[in-house]
Amino acid sequence: MKHMALLRPAAVAIGLMAGAVAPAQVFSQELVMGVRGGPESLDPHFSALGSHAEAAKHIFDTLVWSGDDLQIEPGLATEWTPVDDDTWEFKLREGVKFHDGSDFDAEDVKFSIERIPVVSGPTTTTIYVRRVKEVEIVDPLTLLIHTDGPAATLPYDFVRLFIVSSDAAKDYSTPETAAEGFNSGKATIGTGPYKYVSWEPKGDLVLERFDDYWRGEGAWEKVTRKEMPNDSSRLAALKAGQVDVINYVSSVDYLALESDSAVDTIKGDSVYIMNLQLDQREDTPMVRAKDGSKLDANPFRDMKVREAIDAAIDRETMVEIVLEGLGKPANQMMPAGFFGSNDDIPMPEYDPQKAKDLLAEAGYADGFEVDLYCTSDRLPGDGAICQGLGQMLSAVGIKTNVNAVSKTVYFPAQGRLEYSMFMNGWGTLTGEASYTLGGLAHTNNPDVKMGAFNRIAYSNPEVDKLLQEGATTLDADARRGMYEEAMAKTMADKAYISIVQLQTVWAAKAGALTFTPRFDEDTLAFFMKPAS
Amino acid sequence: MLGFVIQRLLQAIMVMAVMSVIVFCGVYAIGNPIDIVIPPDATQDLREEAIRRLGLDQPLWKQYLTFAGNLMQGDFGRSFVYNIPVLELIGGRLPATLELVLISVLSATVLGVSLGVYAGYRPDSWLSKTIMAVSVLGFSVPSFWVGLILILTFAVNLGWLPAGGRGDTVLVWGVPFSFLTLDGLSHIVLPAINLALFKLAMMIRLARAGTREIMLTDTIKFARAAGISEAVILRRHLLKLISIPIITVFGLELGSTLAFAVVTETIFSWPGVGKLIIDSIGVLDRPVMVAYLILVAFLFVLINFTVDLVFALIDPRIRAGATE
């Protein structure tokens, strides 16, 4: 399977004017990054959290690399091919060194895969190796991975399979010892571009360049990754010159920064898409007639009502007004260009009159009342989009009470199926459809291990069939077709209504550095180059 | 005296036990922490496995008893999020909070009492009036706003001081402190001012009110009649007499600032315990929340106990009362 050259995300390149920068900074080989979140441990296998993986990518390499557009590329493995229905062969890169000078080989891969289920924390990394039954070493640079049945997406699962040194981590591979060994640096030996110097939970991660890195030497001798969760503090630190680059600039600050000559902004498409989810159970808790009485049936089970809701949403306004331009209208649950995205899905049209007509046809000429839930502190703009939705739906007669709550409250309640209509950001972090459709669109069925996050009881047998077939089809083109079809069918049912794709903004000292924004929003020091 | 200490200890244990039960039930009522931390592509069986590993599949009373049992052996448990012992996690961040809070509370007290005594001693001078007017600001302006303005002025516009974070540290008996290095001091100035402002205003007003009251009493009149110099009167008599309410407030403020310097720590990215507890609440990291609140309860009991002892040292009447 080769890397697919797809369109890069629209990137606003950093200005190259370096006129006013002091000489000391031009020659400085140090990069200080102010980032919103950090690792929970320096054991890369402990957590599947995005910011955890982002930090780990500085020290460790993954077996398969996920590029800027999240399509897979060779990493520590150079090629991979299915040998038979339940075996993949992986060829490893030659001449790769660990930070302690030892050679990387198949033993380290086997060790890392087998270590994950033992040391994983609650944000479980076991997802990356759940299909692996056995790892067989053929020679130091060849592995056979036996899976529990045909595992078509195995290479995608491996984009966050970090490889640790089997020697250095040997004594630190139980839940009790792992944190001690990795947080102290004793076991933090990877093949990545930077070496561990020091780390404190929620504090600074200090790194030093690894000169024998297989991709070549990084641009910065020393990298400090400072955790600054508060948006204003992060921006202040940049303006005060304490940090060189920050991530997650808020949309309000972005507008102000565009006219600030001391700061460059870099805008990139994000993998996160906001989806409105409509409960399909026969009896749903948060819907009622406008006078408070119970409705005869759950209106969201009526296709006309779902179409009406879709037509009532003005996606352009959502992007231009609510998100200050930092987004794009979305018509499906993955960005264009991902494995399984369907280019033929039309962009829904905003037509409030059609929405009213459809509601009347469905027997809700007077509308009804619903409680809409969403997070207010998880993704940029989530609370605001929710407010916007509430107004748009109320305008066509569906009286919508907006509840933008903390994610601490939202996720457990969503898990208990307490909501009827809710909006959720979803990021397809592996860049392919089984991640998204398998979790959301398949009927919730533990027997086939799919639909775990389908909290609206959505069930379409045709979609289920396509997804189950796709998961076992090793031929990539055939599988892509199945996922595209499943995506089209899911979106046509309108139980999931995609609204907007978010965009992310980084800010850097004017003329300090350049980089290509990644879809998964990772801020990676190795791929940032000094601009000079 | 011994009875007093034992009584206080029993109180402390009661408070801590009640605290742990409340936090346990509170977190349980919000929901399952797994739902917040589980990755979106986890299958149903992986979710069950994660719940089982954290012991969240057990009934609440059983989870609590396990926790209490471990606590008896001095084990507060491990953080769900960081997988390191909770005490280590809190202990690693305590020095940062400790130095920030001590510097700000101490300087607020010394400066506040001096200014307050002056304002009470010469209530009609223009300087006193200015002091009192400014102290109203200290009360009424919200501290997060002051913090942002401090950053904007001294870090962003003037560029004199860093905008946040903690500077270089040196080890003193194995504990890292930053106020002993120049870089560390430059980092601590702004958050310390931010934290001290409210307390400064309060100390000024307390000291002024006390001074005005005491200056009118017979004690001062007789002292003056006896020909004792004003400086000695202020130092020996006045300060001692106004110190009881000031020490009480000092103790309470010290405790509450140590425990909840959250706003300042967040704005200035100060790696202290206040930030830790807020982050832990955000992901329902129950072991950290429970342990932290138990420690805070203990801290308050300890500080109040110390304050009582100090009273006895300063005021002979209280000392006499205790021995009767």
A111 and A142 assigned to the same domain: yes
Sort out which chain B residues have CB atoms less than 8 A from A179's CB and list them.
Answer: 82-84
pLDDT (average), residues A85-94: 93
B275 and B197 assigned to the same domain: yes
Helices (H) and strands (E) in chain A, counts: 15, 20
- Would the CB atoms of A412 and B32 count as touching at under 8 Å? yes
Sort out which chain B residues have CB atoms less than 8 A from A200's CB and list them.
Answer: 92, 271
Residue A202 has pLDDT above 50, yes or no: yes
Domain that holds residue A452: 269-503
Residue A123 has pLDDT above 60, yes or no: yes
A359: distance to nearest CA of chain B, Å? 33
pLDDT at A18: 34
Whichever domain contains B95, its CATH number is 1.10.3720.10
Token pair 């020697």 is at which residue?
A167
- Would the CB atoms of A446 and B45 count as touching at under 8 Å? yes
Output phi, psi for A62, to 5 deg: -100, 160
User: How many Cβ atoms sit within 10 Å of the Cβ of residue A211?
Assistant: 12
Residue A113: closest CA among A142, A84, A145: A145
- Would the CB atoms of B46 and A130 count as touching at under 8 Å? yes
Sort out which chain A residues have CB atoms less than 8 A from B162's CB and list them.
Answer: 237, 240, 242
Number of separate domains in chain A = 2
- Would the CB atoms of B82 and A49 count as touching at under 8 Å? no
The angle, 0 to 180 degrees and rounded to 10, between the axes of the packed helices B2-30 and B286-314 is 150
Token pair 């979305």 is at which residue?
A330
Residue B120: closest CA among B210, B241, B199: B210
pLDDT at B1: 64
pLDDT at A214: 93
A327 and A183 assigned to the same domain: no
Residue A509 has pLDDT above 70, yes or no: yes
**A103 falls within a domain:** yes
pLDDT at B318: 66
- Would the CB atoms of B39 and A40 count as touching at under 8 Å? no
pLDDT at A531: 82
Sort out which chain A residues have CB atoms less than 8 A from B282's CB and list them.
Answer: 377, 406-408
A430 and A497 assigned to the same domain: yes
pLDDT at A99: 95
Distance, in Å, from the CA atom of A306 to the CA atom of A304, rounded to the nearest integer, reads 5
Sort out which chain B residues have CB atoms less than 8 A from A406's CB and list them.
Answer: 282
Q: Taking the mean position of all CA atoms in its chain, how far away is CA A28?
A: 33
Residue B79: closest CA among B66, B91, B88: B88
B223 and B258 assigned to the same domain: yes
Q: How many Cα atoms occupy the beta-carbon half-sphere of A192 within 13 Å?
A: 29
A103 and A205 assigned to the same domain: yes
Beta bridge partners of A30: A222
**A15 falls within a domain:** no
- Would the CB atoms of A237 and B42 count as touching at under 8 Å? no
pLDDT at A345: 94
B91 and B126 assigned to the same domain: yes
- Would the CB atoms of B84 and A41 count as touching at under 8 Å? yes
Q: Which helix (H) or strand (E) holds A347?
A: none
| Blockwise average pLDDT, block size 10, chain B, 324 residues | 76 83 82 79 81 84 86 84 87 87 91 90 87 86 86 85 80 79 86 90 90 84 83 82 85 82 84 84 85 84 81 71 50
Residues A320-358: tens digit of each pLDDT = 998 988 999 999 999 998 999 999 999 999 999 999 999
Distance, in Å, from the CA atom of A320 to the CA atom of A381, rounded to the nearest integer, reads 12
Beta bridge partners of A327: A502
- Give the pLDDT band of residue A372 (cuts 50, 70, 90): very high
Name the residue among B42, B89, B152 with its Cβ closest to that of A201. B89
Q: Is A82 helix (H, G, I), strand (E, B) or coil?
A: strand
A200 and A232 assigned to the same domain: yes
- Would the CB atoms of B163 and A416 count as touching at under 8 Å? no
A116 burial (CB, 10 Å; 0-12 / 13-18 / 19+) is buried
Distance, in Å, from the CA atom of A136 to the CA atom of A159, rounded to the nearest integer, reads 20
The angle, 0 to 180 degrees and rounded to 10, between the axes of the packed helices B273-282 and A407-415 is 30
**A368 falls within a domain:** yes
- Would the CB atoms of B164 and A449 count as touching at under 8 Å? no
Q: Is A96 helix (H, G, I), strand (E, B) or coil?
A: coil
pLDDT at A190: 93
Distance, in Å, from the CA atom of A100 to the CA atom of A110, rounded to the nearest integer, reads 19
- Would the CB atoms of B155 and A406 count as touching at under 8 Å? no
B210 and B245 assigned to the same domain: yes
Selected residue of A25, A123, A418 to mutate for chain B interface (largest B Cβ count, 10 A): A123
Q: How many Cα atoms occupy the beta-carbon half-sphere of B199 within 13 Å?
A: 29
A493: distance to nearest CA of chain B, Å? 22
- Would the CB atoms of B35 and A415 count as touching at under 8 Å? yes
User: How many Cβ atoms sit within 10 Å of the Cβ of residue B15?
Assistant: 16
pLDDT (average), residues A158-168: 93
A202: distance to nearest CA of chain B, Å? 7
B248 and B263 assigned to the same domain: yes
A228 and A309 assigned to the same domain: no
Number of separate domains in chain B = 2
A366: distance to nearest CA of chain B, Å? 36
Alpha helices per DSSP H over A67-136: 106-119
From A13-22, A161-170, A319-328, B280-289, the region with the lowest mean pLDDT: A13-22
pTM of the prediction?
A: 0.81
Name the residue among B33, B82, B166 with its Cβ closest to that of A41. B82
Residue of B nearest to A377 (CA): B282
B58 and B153 assigned to the same domain: no
A439: distance to nearest CA of chain B, Å? 6
Parallel, antiparallel or unpaired: strands A327-329 and A398-405: unpaired
- Would the CB atoms of A124 and B165 count as touching at under 8 Å? no
pLDDT at A283: 92
Q: Are A44 and A60 in contact (CB under 8 A)?
A: yes
B143 and B53 assigned to the same domain: no
pLDDT (average), residues A121-142: 90
Name the residue among B46, B49, B276 with its Cβ closest to that of A202. B276
B10 and B151 assigned to the same domain: no
Q: Is B229 helix (H, G, I), strand (E, B) or coil?
A: coil
A314 and A415 assigned to the same domain: yes
B23 and B127 assigned to the same domain: no
Domain that holds residue B236: 86-282
pLDDT (average), residues A189-207: 91
Residue A17 has pLDDT above 50, yes or no: no
Token pair 């109040």 is at which residue?
B304
B10 and B120 assigned to the same domain: no
A291 and A422 assigned to the same domain: yes
Residue of B nearest to A451 (CA): B43
From A10-14, A182-186, A314-318, A424-428, the region with the lowest mean pLDDT: A10-14
**A123 falls within a domain:** yes
**A126 falls within a domain:** yes
pLDDT at A28: 62
- Give the pLDDT band of residue A24 (cuts 50, 70, 90): very low
Name the residue among B36, B162, B276 with its Cβ closest to that of A408. B36
Amino acid at B109: T
B59 and B181 assigned to the same domain: no
pLDDT at B321: 57
**What mean pLDDT value characterizes chain A?**
89
Residue A276: closest CA among A498, A500, A501, A503: A498
pLDDT at B319: 63
A321 and A232 assigned to the same domain: no
Whichever domain contains A141, its CATH number is 3.40.190.10
**A4 falls within a domain:** no
A294 and A225 assigned to the same domain: no
Contacts of A277 (CB under 8 A, 6+ apart): A421, A422, A423, A424, A455, A456, A495, A496, A497
pLDDT at B249: 85
pLDDT at B280: 85
A286 and A251 assigned to the same domain: no
**A7 falls within a domain:** no
Output phi, psi for A370, to 5 deg: -145, 150
B127 and B249 assigned to the same domain: yes
A207 and A321 assigned to the same domain: no
Under 8 Å CB pairs connecting chains A and B tally to: 164
More confidently predicted of A403 and B94: A403
